[in-house]
Structures are given as structure tokens and as C-alpha cells.
Chains A and B, each alone.
Chain A
């Protein structure tokens, strides 16, 4: 087994764990954490793919490695926006549940 394959398979596990958290954990902050776990898995998969493409004097294919850096920054931006939304929701509504309140019956 090569290191790229090992990390590639580990990435699949991380993606699965993150996905589980995104589906199963009702708290938005925990969904944001799960999103970052899953994102970490996707990035690790890209890193493993970059490692498979080592050659021409590079320890890994520089193109996916560079894309990863962009990806990490984009994921951080997403996390920051999501956290700001959760905190603001908590400040305004006093809770952070995603479930919709039952519709007001004003017939």
C-alpha cells in the first residue's frame, strides 16, 4: 500500500464521518463542524491524488495542491459566514434550531 492510497482511503472515511454529522446532528454549530470534517476529507483526497501525480521533481502534482489552498480559504470563508449567521440568529431569536416553527394559523 502506498501512502497516497492510505490517505486516499482515510479521506473517504473522513468524508463519511462528516456526512454523518451533517445529516444527524441537529445543532447548526455541529453541522458547521461536520462540514469542516467533510471538507477536510475532500481536501485530503485531493492531497492524495496530488501525491499520486508526483513526478518531474515534485513530491506531488502542484496543480491540485494549489487548488487545495484555494479550497481551504473558501471553506474558511463559508465557516465564517455560517458562524456569523448562527450567532446573529441566537442573538435575535434566542435559539439556533433549524426547524421551522409551525405556521401561524391566521386563517
Chain B
């Protein structure tokens, strides 16, 4: 983020991007009933246009808007760099896809003028959107705090739209853990003000020096945000919340809401305090990401229900988003650098947002059609719902990083960064991680492609529009690799060349092996080996249950704050 202290000609776009969804939410509340969905549709069309124009403007130059005409440190600046603009665009597209998907699920019933859940959904969708845009463009740590709280207050009610006891419990866990996270973030912001008398990110980048204050601040704010992002092992609230919510709401939560707090970690580490970051602290953050990939994927394989499987896969995907941190650390300069690794991380966020939304939507359609989502009983669903299962498969391939998906390109960029930075161990994580993703995708598809024992009776006919919305988002993720047009040549090669084909085949084979070893029900038959690996799987499940107990999770929060603080302290050259 550059410290331009003037409003740029197209800076007003940032104000519009933040306020338009909020205005839509308020107008929708007054209009009420089925008008709320119509207001949302209008706002989404306008918001897509704003996002497109913003990307176009940012390609020329970063955009800045000084609110009220006051420059920081007294005033608050909105800023959009490429990072912010790209996230705004991704969110706009995913929101539009989710809105198409949700048209039928959240239509107001014809017999009533207004129903609670549909009204709440459309208002909260717009609320999440505006809050995310605020998080992307705000340049002030306190305004960002307000943005984070807005995002939480908009996200939590989405969890329990159906009003069942278990979803209310999931929502309460989410809210309470998120509030603990926000207090740690706010505490950090208060200490920053005490040390530097400014909360402006661009100014802080110039001012912040390593020391006990900045180490504590970065450690507190980081773990506070990790709690909100649900990075392993702070994922206490995520599985029940994301699996219990209605599918459209799960897509919002899984694809979008967790990206808000993740984005703030990026802002802190890359833009506000890059010089405070140390090699070892970045390794720890990446290490948590790697652990999340392994743990989330294995526990996903152990699930009985499809929506829970997808929720655990989200934990693994969140892990991916943190692999770029160690790779972006420049050892010689002792600081975080904007470069290929950050671009890779951003692409990962974009491809996960689209693919994960598509995947949750497909899972929701399967649930609706079958009246259940037991993975063991998915047989025949591929024949009954070909478009939906195709959407799931494409989303899965995109997450695995098969050419030409965005995740493929992201992996390339991160592998390059690992090679040039001499951090070979991340190469292993990046290559192996894809096999873990392949594991649960293979599992679901094998079950879905089997013939059913008895002919399938569909509980309800699913909406065509919803199916194609899911497929559309999945395809978008799959084709995101073509964004490489703007990147250095040579990143994408012929997918059938041995150099490309071999890793892909290895990943799929690894996925089969993992699914065979760890799935709850044997995929290819039983044996002593399988009993051993299944016992290991149960061990992971038990560990997950322990980690997701409140005392363990909240203590882990403090322990990791201490660990980050310590690594920031000891890693700084005296």
C-alpha cells in the first residue's frame, strides 16, 4: 500500500463499493418481503459494475479516497491496490452466483407477504458484501475493526437461519470465539495507537520498528484474526457452523466470510508491519497452514455427511491460504515482499472462493434432492443429478489444482517462490497437499458414481438455475488459470506433456490411496492394512474433538499468541 495522501480521480468507487450494499440492505429492510430479493438483484448488478470499473481503474493506478477530505492520521483513507480490487471482483462474482443459486431456496412463500428466513438471507447477503468491501479497502486499523465486527454480525445469523437448536449452538460458539478474536485485534490496535499515534496502515508501514510493543501487537492481532478465520487448530466453530447452515449461507460463510479476516492478516503482515515479521514467525504461520491441510483433509475423509465433509475441506483450504506467508519472506531484506508468492496466495483465495461456493451449492442440491446427505448412500446421484455432480467434480478438480485452474497457477507461483527462496520443504507441502484434496473428492465421486441398491427416489426436483449457478462458479475456478495472461510467460504449459501429466496422475493416485486408507467405510475392501489406517483416522477424529472443545481452543489461541510473540522477538537480529 503506497502512502498517497490525496484522493485519486476514481477513488469515489471505493466509497460506492462499501456503501452500495449497505444502502441496499437498508432499502431492502424497509421494502420488506419479496421486494428484498429484488433490491438485492439490483444492488448485485450495480455492484458487479462497480467492481469491474474499480479493477479497471486500479490497473492504471492504486485508488485512494480521503473520507471527509481529512488526510490520515487525523482522517480515514480508503485505498485499493491490486490486492483489494481483485478480492472485490471475486467477491462480487461469487455473491452474484450465490444469489442466483438462492433464488428458489430463499423465495418468499406465495401465501405470505413476508417470511423471516428469506428476508434475513437477502439482507445478510448484502450486509456481508458491504462489510467485506470495507475490509478490503479500509486503510485504518480501527475502521477495519468496525468492518470485522460488521462482518461477524452479518455472518453469525446466517449460520442459524433455519432456527434449529444445533445451528443456534453453532452460531453461538462462532460468535463467542469470534468476539474473543476481535478483542485481541482491538487490543493490538489500541497499543499501536499508544506507540505511534496513528492507525493508518500506510503511515504505520513507515513508522513501526521491532520491539516489545510491535511484537505483542502483531502476535495479538494475528491470532485474533486467525480465530476469526478458523485456521487450524483454532477451527472450533467452523464445522458445525458451515455444515449446519442452509447451503447458500454455507457458501457465503465458507467462500467469503473467512476471507475477510484472512485478508486482514495479509494487510498486517505485508503492508502494516512487514519489517517486524521474522523468518521463524512466517514459518510458524505457514506450518499451521500445512497442518490444516493434512488435518482438515483427513478428518473430511472420516465424515458421514457430505456437508460436514465439505466443511472440513474448508479447513484444509484455509490452510492453503497461509502457505504464501513463509514464501513471501525475503531473508536477505528481513521483510515481507509483495511478489510472486503473494500473487499466488491471492489466486488461491480467488480459486477457493469460487470453487468452495460451487461445492457447497452442489452439496446443498444433493441434500435437497435426496432428503439426506449421507456419503455412504450417494449411489445413483450422478445419474439423477448429472449437472450437480459435474459441478462438484469440477470444483474438486479446481481445488486440487488441475490445469488450467486458478489453484494450478497459484501452486506454480508458490513453487517458483519456494525454489528461488531455497525453502524446498514447502515444495513437498504444495505437491502433497493436492493429493489430500484429491482424497475426499475421489471419495465423494466414487460413491456418487456407484449404482444405487434400490432405484433413487428424489425428495424434490432441484432448480436448474441453482445447478447451473453451482456449475458456473466451479467452472470459473477451473478457468481462472487463464488469468495468467497478465503474468510472466511459461507458467502454463501443455497439460498433456509428461512434465504436467505425471504430477496430475500422481496426485489422483495419492488421492485414491488416501481415500482407500482413511475413508469411514472401506472403498475397495478390508484388510489388516486398512484396519490400521482406519484406526489412525479415528485418532485424527478424536484429536479434532479435543481441539474443538472450548478450553483447548481458547488456550491454543493464547499459546499461539505467545509463540508468535516469541518468534518475532527471537528472530529479530539484535
Seen from chain A, the residues whose Cβ lies within 8 Å of a Cβ on chain B are: 15, 19, 22-24, 26, 28, 31-32, 35, 38-39, 42, 45-46, 49, 52-53, 61, 63-64, 67, 70-71, 74, 77-78, 81-82, 85-86, 88-89, 92-93, 96-101, 103, 106-107
Contact = CB atoms under 8 A, between A and B. Distances in A.
Given A32-B176, A74-B145, A89-B169, 13 more contacts: A19-B558, A61-B197, A63-B74, A64-B193, A71-B186, A78-B153, A81-B153, A85-B160, A86-B172, A88-B168, A89-B168, A92-B168, A103-B304
Contacts of B175: 78, 81-82, 85
B172 A82 contact: yes
Contact of B190 (A28, A45, A82): A45
A26 B550 contact: yes
Interface in B518-555: 520-521, 548-551, 554-555
Contacts of B521: 107
A31 B187 CA distance: 18
- For the complex of A and B, list the 4 residue pairs with the smallest distance between their C-beta atoms, beginning with the closest: A93-B165, A49-B194, A89-B168, A23-B554
Contacts of B171: 85
Contacts of B142: 67, 70
A42 B187 contact: yes
Given A23-B555, A82-B175, A106-B304, A35 B190 contact: no
18 contacts: A22-B180, A23-B554, A31-B176, A35-B179, A45-B194, A61-B197, A71-B145, A74-B149, A77-B153, A81-B153, A82-B172, A85-B160, A85-B168, A85-B171, A85-B172, A89-B165, A92-B165, A103-B304
B173 interface: yes
Nearest to A45: B190
Nearest to B187: A42
Contacts of A96: 172
A92 B163 contact: yes
Interface in B135-168: 142, 145-146, 149, 152-153, 156, 160, 163-166, 168
A59 B377 CA distance: 69
Contact of A93 (B168, B180, B183, B376): B168
Contacts of A67: 142, 193
Contacts of A23: 550-551, 554-555, 558
Given A100-B240, A107-B520, A70 B179 contact: no
